[in-house]
Amino acid sequence: MKNKLIPIALVVIGAILFGLSFLSFGSSSGDLDISIVKSNSIMPAAHNVYSNELALDGKYYLFKAKMTNNGKNTLEDVTVRYRIPGYVEWTELDIIGEMFPGQTASVRCYPKFKDDISEKMTESTEKVEIEISWDGAGEDDIIDEEFSFRISDRNEYMFTNIPAAEIAGWGDVYNNDALLACFVTPNDPIVKYYTQNIQEKILMGEQASVTKDPNEAVRFLAGIYNATVLSHMVYSGTKGIPETLQDVSKFSQHNRLPREVITGNTGLCLELSLLYASILSNAGLDPVIFLVPGHAYPGYRLNGQYYAIEATGIGGEGLGSIMSAEEAFKKGMEQVSEFYQKYQNGDPRYTLVDIHAVNQEGVTPMVLKDDDFLRKKVDDIVASWGSAGTIAQTSNSGQMANRVNTGGGNSGGNSGGGNTSGSSLSFAIPGGWQTYMRPVPEIPIITAQVLAPDQTTTVTVFDVPASSGQEALGIINQYFQSYGMSIQYQMNGNQVSGQTFSDNGVFNWVGKTLRRNGGIRLVAVGAPDYLYGQSTGYINQVFNSIQ
């Protein structure tokens, strides 16, 4: 019996050690260090952005946690859960399969709020509870963290989410500008209903998004403006948009939603811009909002060109004057011109939000429900338009449409005298490009040349005394041959693509021709073959704008 005692004792001791090893060394015990970076405030209007980790490259999270395993053991199935009482139930954020000693993992939280958060009319302070556990973790091991954050009301727009003390430049002030797209609500049933009424009662039909015709698009813009004038909508001013970096008090603005602007019949510059953008988007155009110090105004992008209107031209009887649609458009285009000058000079206070571009980055509009009461209010407003809508449409829109051809803002197409007639080819000159009139006196058929900042991508305007495109290209070739160059081309209707060969290499180009003043005008844009692929974006932009 004695000689069995020792081996049995060994087995017992071994079993005890083996069992203890799981208590003291096993995966159950851990020393996880947590550090949390949180958002102080979130906007209900942007709830679709906060819930989408792909939106704007994941910039808008509720919190992110850095977890480092400072213990000696590998932790398995480390699980991070969170909840926001009253908004989000316990939700698993991530399960990390293994966390080795010294390993760090980061987890980000993109909370999925219910759509009804966009009905939140008051701000509140809420709490996030976070729980981190792992396989075999005892109650004492489980880590609980919590922090408070603010949910604003649905109308609040914060220009930036950077603390005031950290603001260093205008890029910081406009840090949230992409989120303006959340307030652009083309799918709001009330906005849709209002848009339909403009299309039917004011414009008597429109096809701007179908034809991409600038005249038609401007007529649509005028239609929106006239609708607001006929509704007796008024501008009620406030200094909502920051003018200086010290304007900390203005780094948030209470925006009425487009539906509230329609039914409330009043709006600030930014609110009117949001309304226009919603209607334009609903009609299939590409809206943009221009942000400048102390002001915002709406517009759209069409065929590579930007158009704008001074929406606050509606003024109000109390303000003494109401601009006509033509005046508002003229003012808007002047502002676009100024905008581009400042923008090209690198002034960071001048920025624009291309609504559909940021939509594609995951910034989607807030979801709003239909409302019979608001529809009824829209009906009342539409009734006030009466037959005046037709009058407004005929008196203003036609004149404005002509202005597009006479050039405004960034419209190009310099003919010899600088005045582009309605029948000549015009095109949009991208920002920063230089125009040279009659650049080669020895070749008089070259009317103008526009050179990109890269000094290689070039637009050339030819005015050739010829009766057809073929003949015109033949004459151009003759001129070129006398300078040791030659061209090869293919024509398809009025479109032409070709190559120019010279001692300097091959120059690829595309263009369009049009009969003009008894001759042919050719506008061609291209680049050296080795840079053509790199310049395709610019070339297509210019080519598509030739009309």
Minimum Å distance from CB 92 to other proteins? Answer: 13
455-474 residues in contact with other proteins (CB under 8 A) are 455-456
By the rule CB under 8 A, 41 interacts with other proteins: no
Locate 467 and state its tokens: 């009766």
The span from the first CA to the last CA of the chain, in angstroms, equals 108
Question: Among residues 59, 75, 62, which one has the least CA distance to residue 129?
Answer: 62
Helices 214-230 and 372-385: angle between axes, nearest 10 degrees: 100
By the rule CB under 8 A, 537 interacts with other proteins: yes
Residue placing its CB nearer to other proteins in the complex, 168 or 204: 168
Q: Which stretch binds other proteins (CB under 8 A): 61-69, 287-295, 406-414, 483-491?
A: 61-69
103-142 residues in contact with other proteins (CB under 8 A) are 103-106, 108
Locate 463 and state its tokens: 């005015």
Residue placing its CB nearer to other proteins in the complex, 107 or 288: 107
Angstrom distance (rounded) from CA 177 to CA 540: 28
Whether the CB-CB separation of 349 and 292 falls below 8 Å is answered with yes
Strands (E), 404-494: 434-437, 446-451, 458-464, 486-492
Q: How many CB atoms lie within 10 A of CB 484?
A: 10
By the rule CB under 8 A, 18 interacts with other proteins: yes
Angstrom distance (rounded) from CA 23 to CA 25: 6
By the rule CB under 8 A, 15 interacts with other proteins: yes
Whether the CB-CB separation of 316 and 237 falls below 8 Å is answered with no
Q: Which stretch binds other proteins (CB under 8 A): 69-77, 214-222, 324-332, 515-523?
A: 69-77
75-94 residues in contact with other proteins (CB under 8 A) are 77
Residue 3, SS3 per DSSP: helix
Locate 194 and state its tokens: 């209002």
How big is the site for other proteins, counted in residues (CB under 8 A)? 61
Q: Which of 31, 33, 40, 58 binds other proteins (CB under 8 A)?
A: 58
386-445 residues in contact with other proteins (CB under 8 A) are none
Residue placing its CB nearer to other proteins in the complex, 59 or 192: 59
By the rule CB under 8 A, 165 interacts with other proteins: no
By the rule CB under 8 A, 8 interacts with other proteins: yes
Residue placing its CB nearer to other proteins in the complex, 96 or 182: 96
Question: Among residues 43, 158, 62, which one has the least CA distance to residue 110?
Answer: 62
Applying CB under 8 A, the residues found at the interface with other proteins are 3-4, 6-22, 24-26, 35, 37, 53-54, 57-59, 61, 64, 66, 68, 72-74, 77, 95-106, 108, 166, 168, 346, 453-456, 533-535, 537
